[in-house]
Structure 1
Amino acid sequence: MIGARRRIGGGGQDNSWPGFVDALSTLLLVIIFLLSMFVLAQFFLGQALSGRDQALAELRGQVAQLGNLLKMEQQSNQSLRDSMAELSASLTAANKDRDSLSANLEATRTQLEDSDARLRAMTEARERFEAEAKDLAEKYGLADTALAEERILSRRAQEQVAQLQRNITALQEQLGRLEAALQASEERDRRNQAVIVDMGRRLNRALASKVEELAGYRSEFFGRLKEVLSTRPEIRVEGDRFVFASELLFASGSADLGPEGRAEMRKFAETLIAISREIPAELQWILRVDGHTDKRPISNAQFRSNWELSSARAISVVRFLTSVGVPPERLAATGFGEFQPIDPADNVFAYSRNRRIEMRLTQR
């Protein structure tokens, strides 16, 4: 519009006022529009503020109510705390009463058990006393009966006492005669004891002479055997016995006499038989054959231990001597296993010395 007006009055005359008026009118319309919008905004804002005030009032009322409720709740909590304290005190007192009642109950139970035990003991004692009283009554009846019988027996006993006195007088007379006879017998015993002592001395002297005689024959026997067997190093004399090495007589682990052993045992038997003819028959002599092994263990189908092996070897020698004419009643076989070594060393030489058969002439 302003531009139109400018174009209309473009003849050189200043026509700016109408345009200014138009601008003012336009500005005025804008301001009016803004004021109307502000009024509307104030109206709606007033409405909103009035609603907020009402809500605030309601909230203040609710807060006041909640404050009142909080005070009432605090008062209730305080009363509950007081009640709780009272209940705790009551519970503590009740616990103390309960503990006291429990202790009293336990004491009462103990007393009741003691009373029951005493009652049982008294009952048993009463039953025992009743049984004893019954037994005593029975015994009294029996004693009364026995007393009557005893009186009868007493009279008879008095009669028997008189008879016994007469018998005692007769026995005293017999005792006097027996004492005289006993003295005579003791005198004979003393004489007989002297004779027995003298016979014992004579017997000891005779036995000593027999032992000396047997020792002489044994010395002669050993002397002859030394002459017969001294050529073999496997045969040695140790004290009062002949020692034969097992290697000379047996194979290893065997109890059968070998050919060489049989030959040596045959010479031994011939010498023994020859000397036995010179020994008097009253001399009770025997030849003891002892078997020994070394300490190395043995276990096979035939021998489970060295004891069995040593015994079997001694028996084998005795059987051979019997077969060649030595009287069996003059022989004895013994096995010692490895338990009587003559050399305790642990080497092959000691083993060889300990494996042996020993012959000893001794008295039965």
Structure 2
Amino acid sequence: MLGTGRRVRYGLNIWPGFVDALATLLLVFVFMLSLFMAAQYYMSEALSGRNATIAQLRLEVEQLARTLSLEREARDGLEQELTALGEELRASLARGEELEASLEQARGRLAARDQRLAEQARAVASLEQDVTSLRGTREELRQALGESRDELDAARVRGTALETQLADTEQRLARVRREADEEVARLSRQVAALRQQLQEVAAALELSEQTVAEQRTEIRDLGQRLNTALAQKVQELQDYRSEFFGRLRRVLGDHPDIRIVGDRFLFQSELLFDSASARLEPAGREQLRRVAGTLMGLSEEIPAEIPWVLQVEGHTDRRPINTPEFPSNWELSTARANSIVHFLIAEGIPPSRLAAAGFGEYHPVAEGDSAADLRRNRRIELRLTRR
């Protein structure tokens, strides 16, 4: 009886403890569920904010591309205007040189006219002296007229001749003075017209130089803005290149024959091709299929205005090859690059985003002749760059 009572008492004590443990577990479950719901809510908010930020950034990139296009058109227009102004400036300079030559000729003619006028002035002075002398002679004759009648008649004859000569001389003097005045007036008008033309040319040259200086300043500012925009585009492409290489590394894993060197992704040729062959092996096709899938996913995120291209470069070691299919390492490296490009096209990569190049043995990464160095030089390089 004592044993039975003890078992009954122990059974009644276990049940409340079991209920308390179950309630505690339920509370813990409810608490963890609440934490999970709160975390889910905050993650949804963060993802929605990130999507909005990405949309805003894409809109800004599109606006920047449009602004860049407008600036390029403005720069082209300014360059055309600058070329036209340069041609006008050269024409104005040529016209100025012609006017200066005309002015020098006019100055030469004016100097000749001045010399002729000086000679005519000396002749007029000589004639005036002759007139004065004749007038004195006439007075002397008039004084001697009362002394002798014969002398008076002779003096009258001489006076008449002298008066005729004096009238002719005065007419010649008036004609010479009139011609000289007309020549001086004509030359003065020519000099004034030439000076006016020179002033107009100087004003046009000054205006053209000022306009050229202003447009050069505008072109320099546009060039700086264009360089800034191009630097931003290059930085964006570098960011996408880093993301592309990071995704490739995650997709391909830590393979000893695949490595990243600078801005290039390197595959050892043995991973993709047999020796002296440009036909892709099944293992290589699988690796390149992963590369194509990664590139397709990234291409949807790269803005359309960035002219990116994936360049495939083939390299060989320095050992020569001479077969009917590959007469030298040039043909082998180029054929391997073309094989990879054709495979990527078949996997859906647009041909406009691909480029193939063969470098033969002329760009080694190891200078030695050991088997390890030769193996490192046999490689395929992928580089995401601008077109």
TM-score by length of 1: 0.52
Identify the residue that residue 337 of structure 2 maps to in structure 1.
314
Summarize the alignment of residues 143-182 of structure 1 with structure 2, pairs less than 5 Å apart.
170=193, 172-182=195-205
SS of the residue corresponding to residue 384 of structure 2 reads strand
Shift of 1:226: 0.7
Q: How far apart are the structure 1 equivalents of 2:191 and 2:274?
A: 85
Query: Of 258, 262, 266, which aligns to 1:243?
Result: 266
Letter in 1 for 2:200: R
Q: How far apart are the structure 1 equivalents of 2:190 and 2:383?
A: 69
Shift of 1:201: 1.5
Identify the residue that residue 221 of structure 1 maps to in structure 2.
244
Summarize the alignment of residues 1-364 of structure 1 with structure 2, pairs less than 5 Å apart.
170=193, 172-364=195-387
Q: Deviations over 1:238-292 (max 9, x none)?
A: 1211111111111111111111111111110111121111111221221111101
Q: Deviations over 1:184-241 (max 9, x none)?
A: 2222222222222211211111111111111111111111111111243221111211
Letter in 2 for 1:252: S
Q: Deviations over 1:41-62 (max 9, x none)?
A: xxxxxxxxxxxxxxxxxxxxxx
Aligned CA distance change for structure 1 residues 168 and 320 (closer, same or farther; 3 Å): farther
Identify the residue that residue 53 of structure 1 maps to in structure 2.
none
Letter in 2 for 1:362: T
Structure 2, unpaired ranges of 5+: 1-108, 110-182
Q: Deviations over 1:93-128 (max 9, x none)?
A: xxxxxxxxxxxxxxxxxxxxxxxxxxxxxxxxxxxx
Superposition RMSD on alpha carbons, in Å? 2.5
Shift of 1:164: 12
Letter in 2 for 1:346: D
Letter in 1 for 2:271: L
Q: How far apart are the structure 1 equivalents of 2:187 and 2:283?
A: 89
Shift of 1:172: 4.8
Aligned CA distance change for structure 1 residues 164 and 317 (closer, same or farther; 3 Å): farther
SS of the residue corresponding to residue 237 of structure 1 reads strand
Structure 1, unpaired ranges of 5+: 1-157
Q: How far apart are the structure 2 equivalents of 1:353 and 1:164?
A: 90
How many residues in Structure 1 have an aligned counterpart in Structure 2?
Answer: 205
Identify the residue that residue 71 of structure 1 maps to in structure 2.
none
Shift of 1:168: 8.1
Letter in 2 for 1:247: E
Structure ID, larger Rg:
1
SS of the residue corresponding to residue 195 of structure 1 reads helix
Q: How far apart are the structure 2 equivalents of 1:183 and 1:212?
A: 43
Identify the residue that residue 50 of structure 1 maps to in structure 2.
none
Q: How far apart are the structure 2 equivalents of 1:188 and 1:171?
A: 25
Q: How far apart are the structure 2 equivalents of 1:192 and 1:322?
A: 47
Aligned CA distance change for structure 1 residues 329 and 164 (closer, same or farther; 3 Å): farther
Letter in 1 for 2:337: A
Letter in 1 for 2:235: E
Letter in 1 for 2:297: A
Q: How far apart are the structure 2 equivalents of 1:178 and 1:259?
A: 79
Aligned CA distance change for structure 1 residues 288 and 166 (closer, same or farther; 3 Å): farther
Aligned CA distance change for structure 1 residues 245 and 164 (closer, same or farther; 3 Å): farther
Aligned CA distance change for structure 1 residues 254 and 174 (closer, same or farther; 3 Å): same
SS of the residue corresponding to residue 281 of structure 1 reads coil
Q: How far apart are the structure 2 equivalents of 1:338 and 1:354?
A: 8
TM-score by length of 2: 0.49
Q: How far apart are the structure 1 equivalents of 2:298 and 2:201?
A: 60
Question: Greater RCO between the two (CA within 8 Å, min separation 6)?
Answer: 2
Q: How far apart are the structure 1 equivalents of 2:318 and 2:342?
A: 26
Aligned CA distance change for structure 1 residues 180 and 234 (closer, same or farther; 3 Å): same
